[in-house]
Chains A and B, each alone.
Chain A
Amino acid sequence: MNLKRRGRDIKAVAFHALLLLSLVVGFVTLATLVVDVVRKGWQYVDKTLFMNPPSIDPAIAGARPAILATIYLGLLLILFTVPIGVGTAIYLEEYADRRRWYNRLLELNIQNLAAVPSIVYGILGLAFIVRGIGLGQVLLAGALILTLLVLPTVIIASREALRAVPDTIRQGAYALGATQWQVTSRQVLPAALPGIATGSILALSRGIGETAPLIMVGAVTYVAFDPTVLGPFTALPIQIYQWVRLPQEEFRSLAAAAIIVLLGILLSLNAVAIWLRNRYQRRW
């Protein structure tokens, strides 16, 4: 017997249409954004953009220092966040006793840190890293502040990956006489690695797209030479910001070209993350 009501329920159709419309708003904006950026910037994505420093003459202006700095920032970010983030996640999932108030507070603290606005991290960087310990407005200061910013994301993703490893694996290893660290490092961690890698790459792509915290640690400077870790720096999002602010149409197009490069980097990172997840992730 057909349980469906006969005839069309106008309200049901209208409701369904409204829901689809909600989804479409997001997708149409995304598509428009990409098409608009590519249309305006594509002709400027050339050798000049990758090889030249910025200039007041749009014809020869490039983003080489910014692109290099973004790559350096990304490498430092991975170097700093992965050990600390995974370490914290292991502590919370494998070692911490959740009945203790300080462990619960730690968890609440990380959840809140994940939602603190990025500009506030910038203030922290300005007050403590740039001026407090006197590191100055250098690339390392930028990398450190981005590290603190994406750390909660890495921790949360790594915890989920560790939690997905079934307890039977731990119990099996304990039964063979392994110590807690042996269980964690030789059984649990390898099993959780694909999930941790995926989460870390996604966090990395969030980090190198950030602009506001870098503004606060002084990345808005004119840098005409290749960046060094302890030298003044700019970054791709900062370069975009500087070009967007200029009124000439050519600089707007250069900004669009730099956006294409940035989105290209982020999209590749996301593709790697998805590939890792599909290739290595195990369903228990």
Chain B
Amino acid sequence: MSARAAAAPARLQSGRVRYGELLVKALLGLCALISVATTIGIIAALFIPAFEFFQDVSIVDFLTGTEWAPLFEPAFFGVVPLVVGTLSATFWAVLVAIPFGLGSAVYLSEYAGARTRKTLKPMLELLAGIPTIVYGYFALTFFTPLLRDLGVGVDIFNALSAGLVMGVMILPTVASLAEDAMSAVPRDLRDGAFALGATRRVVATRIVVPAAISGITASFVLGISRAVGETMIVLVAAGQQPNLTFDPREAIETMSAFIAATGAGDVPTGSLEYKTIFAVGATLFVMTLILNVISIRLVERFREEYE
């Protein structure tokens, strides 16, 4: 896309300076600066108190400690149980979202007709529009009892139920981005394969998926990022106990759930407990930032390849 600023060739513009036009451009630029200010605000809000936190607590102890008990006496500030809790819930979410999201995307892109796609896609996106607290309610009051009825011995709060329901929530994100990537693969590639006698399944799995692999990977990475940062489902259904365990039947605490639970209480500003919010928040932010940047880069790559 060319810059539209160049739409009116410079030679055609009159020499007179139009102050109104300049003012408008400045105001619009100011709007755009708000999003820059947001990013700077987030970084400052997280890292300044986090830095103060690390003057009281050694950063090595924080990153390698296996016990998280910020309110106990003596207090322990090892973030590993929270990270493990986050990864455990994310694992179960990804286990649902990636295969079923990719399957939905292949169906919508390669199998469904134009009309079917037009009805199915908005319905799938409705899933992404359900508030996360509603999924949390569903996981706690419907899915966990269902798992118990099925003979899976889960605790009332557990990583498995929260993770699986979170997977359904992320599914449309994965499906939508993966489908975009597959739709961008040129028709010629498919037609060539069909001409050689390939079946629809072979075209989908051997031609389209490999050709769209960077976009598909981007959809997976974005899905993982969503799961890592998701708060309400895990807060409601996975519990608030920082157990260092990968056993999905037990209660855990994720980074996001700790932040929300601590932020909900009236923590005195400047206390060490208040600063833990920011130390954990900074850890979470860095993890999702890395995932987001990888995903954005991968999307750019498939855009370059086919558009």
Contact = CB atoms under 8 A, between A and B. Distances in A.
- Secondary structure of the A side of the interface? helix
A215 B277 CA distance: 13
B28 A241 contact: no
Given A124-B42, A255-B137, A266-B131, A116 B288 contact: yes
A111 B232 contact: no
Nearest to B105: A22
B264 interface: yes
Interface in A81-113: 83-85, 87-88, 90-99, 106, 108-113
B281 interface: yes
Given A27-B123, A87-B28, A91-B29, 15 more contacts: A19-B103, A22-B100, A22-B103, A26-B104, A26-B172, A33-B130, A96-B3, A98-B1, A127-B45, A209-B130, A210-B132, A216-B259, A216-B260, A244-B140, A270-B126
B41 A128 contact: yes
A146 interface: no
A25 B120 CA distance: 13
A179 B36 contact: no
Interface residues of B, number: 95
Contacts of A248: none
Interface string B59-102: 00000000000000000000000000000000000001001111
Interface of B: 1, 3-8, 18, 20-21, 24-25, 27-32, 34-36, 38-39, 41-42, 45-46, 49, 96, 99-104, 106-108, 111, 120, 122-124, 126-127, 129-138, 140-142, 165, 168, 171-172, 175, 199-201, 204-205, 222, 225-226, 228-232, 235-236, 256, 259-260, 263-264, 269, 277-278, 281, 284-285, 288-289, 292-293, 295-296
- Secondary structure of the B side of the interface? helix
A122 B37 CA distance: 16
27 contacts: A15-B204, A18-B103, A33-B130, A37-B137, A84-B31, A87-B27, A91-B25, A95-B5, A95-B29, A106-B36, A112-B296, A115-B295, A120-B46, A123-B46, A123-B259, A123-B277, A126-B263, A128-B45, A151-B34, A151-B35, A167-B4, A174-B7, A183-B7, A211-B133, A244-B141, A252-B141, A259-B134
Contact of B264 (A106, A127, A220): A220
Interface of A: 5, 9, 11-12, 15-16, 18-23, 25-27, 29-30, 32-33, 36-37, 40, 83-85, 87-88, 90-99, 106, 108-113, 115-124, 126-128, 131-132, 148, 151-152, 155, 163, 167, 170-171, 174, 179-181, 183, 202, 205-206, 209-212, 215-216, 220, 237, 240-241, 244-245, 252, 255-256, 259, 262-263, 266, 270, 274
